[in-house]
Amino acid sequence: MTPEPLSPARQHAYDAARFTELVESASAGDWARPSPVAEWTALDVVRHLVEWSRGFLKGAGIDLPALDVEADPVAAWKRHVADIQAILDDPAGRMLSNPHTGDRPVDEAIDQFYTADVWMHSWDLARALGREPDLDQERCARALEAMRPMERLLRDSGQFGAAVPVAGEASAQDRLMAFIGRDPAWRPAPPA
């Protein structure tokens, strides 16, 4: 049975809190650790989520100030989460216009594009920090089912790598990560 979907505000609060736990668990030396995203560090995962979404929101006339993620990733992330949550808690009927996604209510756009990105990048940050991510097998299966019909569009966007082969009995989370171009078996190299 498919669970009742959360509102955009509640889904963001949930996914951002889980990502925040990872961010807060990182020590200063962890930010330079490699991530499963080629040529990205743990810090780059956080920087990506903060910077692209703030630019994306300009399509709704929302101009959030830049944050210095490198100087203090934890503080920048927490400020960013608060900024996004405030928009979701009071979307005020704003529409987001984007040449790639069209016009849509800002809370729906954040939910579909940004919050989903936070959720999936939780896997990347957890792995970079040497933790075992749990994205919820049922949610992974639903996401994969929704993404498969638009695979060509997703691949052509340049936002997803080539699919990684996995065994037929792989978990839904491993199949989802493989679909978006991550190697589910990726682990950071042990410290030298």
**Model pLDDT, residue 1:** 55
- Indicate whether 98 and 159 sit together in one domain: no
**Model pLDDT, residue 155:** 81
Domain boundary among 116, 134, 152: 134
Q: Which domain holds residue 181?
A: 136-185
- Indicate whether 22 and 105 sit together in one domain: yes
Domain boundary among 134, 150, 176: 134
- Indicate whether 70 and 86 sit together in one domain: yes
Number of domains in the chain: 2
**Model pLDDT, residue 188:** 85
Question: Burial of 80 by CB count in 10 Å (0-12 exposed, 13-18 middle, 19+ buried)?
Answer: buried
Task: Say which CATH number the domain at 99 has.
Answer: 1.20.120.450
Entry pTM: 0.92
Is the residue at 105 inside a domain?
Answer: yes
Average pLDDT, the chain: 93
- Indicate whether 18 and 80 sit together in one domain: yes
- Indicate whether 26 and 98 sit together in one domain: yes
Q: Which parts of the chain have pLDDT scores under 50?
A: none
Q: Are 29 and 41 in contact (CB under 8 A)?
A: no
**Model pLDDT, residue 80:** 98
Is the residue at 1 inside a domain?
Answer: no
**Model pLDDT, residue 151:** 87
Q: In angstroms, rounded to a whole number, what is the distance separating the alpha carbons of residues 89 and 22? A: 23
- Indicate whether 77 and 16 sit together in one domain: yes
- Indicate whether 13 and 31 sit together in one domain: yes
Strand boundaries in the chain, DSSP class E = 95-98, 102-105
Is the residue at 155 inside a domain?
Answer: yes
- Indicate whether 51 and 32 sit together in one domain: yes
- Indicate whether 63 and 108 sit together in one domain: yes
- Indicate whether 107 and 32 sit together in one domain: yes
**Model pLDDT, residue 191:** 63
- Indicate whether 101 and 172 sit together in one domain: no
